[in-house]
Amino acid sequence: MANVIKFKRGTTANVAKLNGVDLPLLQEGEIAIDITTKTIKVGDGLTAWNNLRGINADTLDSFHASQNADANNVAVRNADGKLVGDILGNSETATKLKTSRTLSLSGDATGSASFDGSANATIATTVNNAAQAAKLTTARTIALSGDASGSASFDGTANATIATTVAKAAKLTTARTIALSGDASGSTTQ
């Protein structure tokens, strides 16, 4: 079964009663819909319905969608997908920012670079704790085990060398036959 979410809704006359006198105000974040005008409003817990700002299919916050570049209209694309009218600024054809910006790093690594959008930016960094990173806080032991064994202490200040001892096999795991042929012959199993 699908879940259904329903909001408060009513005709223009009915939702106008959400004024705190006839009906309680919409609570903060509570949504209601005027089904006559197709207007959606979100309550703030303080404002009566008629004073809340809303949106519907024809207007957005009291601005009308229009293909004309007029005051109080929100420009929409025409049938060719283009915006009609003059567009102020250089946003449609910009190749770089009007004002360049500085991108900065702070903390354990620092650096900065100027960025105007005309090319990629690379930030040369400086690691501020490089002296501390030259040595481990706690030295560690690196060990070998199994048929080869040995260990060395390592703290990062120099390379480590491990003196290794290799266990010698007392005998082969699987017996093998050694055979001689030709002018001399014979065999033995080890």
Q: What is the pLDDT of residues 85-107, one digit of tens each?
A: 666 666 666 788 888 999 999 88
Token pair of 124, please?
A: 């040369």
Residue 183 has which token pair? 């002018």
Q: Based on the structure, what is the number of domains in the chain?
A: 3
The whole-number pLDDT of residue 157 equals 84
Q: Do 56 and 6 belong to one domain?
A: yes
Is there a single domain that holds both residue 118 and residue 152? no
Within-domain flag for 94: no
Burial of 43 (0-12, 13-18, 19+ CB in 10 A): buried
Answer whether residue 106 is part of any domain: yes
At 20, is the pLDDT very low, low, confident or very high (cuts 50, 70, 90)?
confident
Taking residues 108-135, report their average pLDDT: 83
pLDDT(23) > 80:
yes
Given a cut of 90, is residue 61 above it in pLDDT?
no
pTM, entire model = 0.33
Query: Can you give the residue range of the structural domain that contains 124?
Result: 100-134
Domain membership flag for residue 95 = no
Same domain, 67 and 21: yes
